[in-house]
A = this chain, B = another copy of it.
Amino acid sequence: MNGRKNGNKRITLKMIAKIVGVSTMTVSRALNDNKHVDEGTRRKVRETARELGYFPNYIAKSLVQQRTQTIGVVVPEIAHSFFAQAVKGVEEEAWERGYQIMLTHSAEDTRRETHGARALASKMVDGLIVSTAESGSDVEFFKSLIKGGLRLVFFDRCIYDIGASCVSIDDVDSARRATEHLIDGGYRRVAHLRGSLALSIGRNRLRGYRDALAERGVPADDDLVVETAIHEHGGYEAMKKLLALPEEKRPDAILAVNDTSAFGAMMAIAEAGLRVPNDVGVVGFYNDVRADLMPTPLTAITQPAREIGKIAARKMLAHIEDDSLPPENVLVPTELIVRASSTRDAGSSPAASI
């Protein structure tokens, strides 16, 4: 249970000092490229350090310097492509600046998110990059972290106005554009599989959807807004609810909060004997690899995950370098990738056939 295997004591500055016959400070200076060291001494120190296989103890260094060169990262699901890409972006940017990342996933669970963040804070990360859990976040806890001096940057799923930066797409505008695309394509009863209102993406995409309806003069129908979990089964279940509506109330298009739920919805649509896009148009968010491979390729708003991760990391490093830097909400541009799932064959839609 102790740190090292029996016998193999880790080499320390003190050991090298004893061998070379100088003080630990001289060794420290020699190894850290400090100018005020005799070249001969430096050579000797370097050599024995290499021979002994010395490498510095960053824990000790961190304790005295009060920084760990480590960034904590909390994501809801490591294995989801979007977050995996984002984490990669963070890691790349951190690596280039000599930082490591400490990764925790919350499994979309509030308690795990809080515990994970607390654990990383206890390990004295220089900052915390977080994307919040579907089941909601303990806002007061994050506030207290900030009050305690911890730097905090959210990405994709943010908590606003508590003094943290946020890096995300413009969810409202993106959802509006996607909805307008459906309406302009002749769809009249556009439904929204919305995300949890505990998530910024859930609230903002819902708002964009509603804005689009209002702007296009399409009457809003609350029956057409159904909550979905962000996974495939969630989309499937939510879609079944919509399909259970009386015929005249059923949607002819779906704006899904993300690709995964859109895939689930497409399954439910197929099971009901309906077809995409002629009976039901579908649009998702993210642009998953599968979007292009589905029997009917999926139209989607892109979320440049890796880029978002990179920007979040850069933002964090900027905050670390300058603690007086004010928090900022960074919006990353998106594109609407139009594929077959939202473009009816000419003349084949009920609406178009009027």
Contact = CB atoms under 8 A, between A and B. Distances in A.
A194 interface: no
B66 A123 contact: no
Contacts of A53: 144, 147-148
A149 interface: yes
B104 A102 contact: no
Contacts of A60: 63
B91 A57 contact: no
Contacts of A101: 102-104
B81 A10 contact: no
A79 B293 contact: no
B58 A122 contact: yes
A52 to B, nearest CB: 9
A321 interface: yes
A294 interface: yes
Given A53-B144, A147-B8, A293-B290, A66 B2 contact: yes
Given A58-B124, A323-B5, A91 B78 contact: yes
Interface string A78-95: 110100110110011001
Most chain B CB within a 10 A radius of its CB, from A1, A87, A123? A123
Contact of A78 (B57, B84, B124): B84
A78 B68 contact: no
B100 A100 contact: no
A120 B66 CA distance: 18
A103 B103 contact: yes
Given A122-B56, A290-B293, A70 B102 contact: yes
Contacts of A65: 3
A59 B63 contact: yes
Contacts of A77: 88
Most chain B CB within a 10 A radius of its CB, from A10, A59, A65, A92? A59
Interface string A337-352: 0000000000000000
Nearest to A89: B79
Contact of A91 (B1, B5, B92, B103): B103
B67 A2 contact: yes
Contacts of A9: 149
Given A3-B67, A56-B122, A60-B63, 11 more contacts: A2-B323, A10-B148, A10-B149, A78-B84, A81-B81, A91-B104, A95-B112, A95-B116, A101-B103, A289-B290, A293-B293
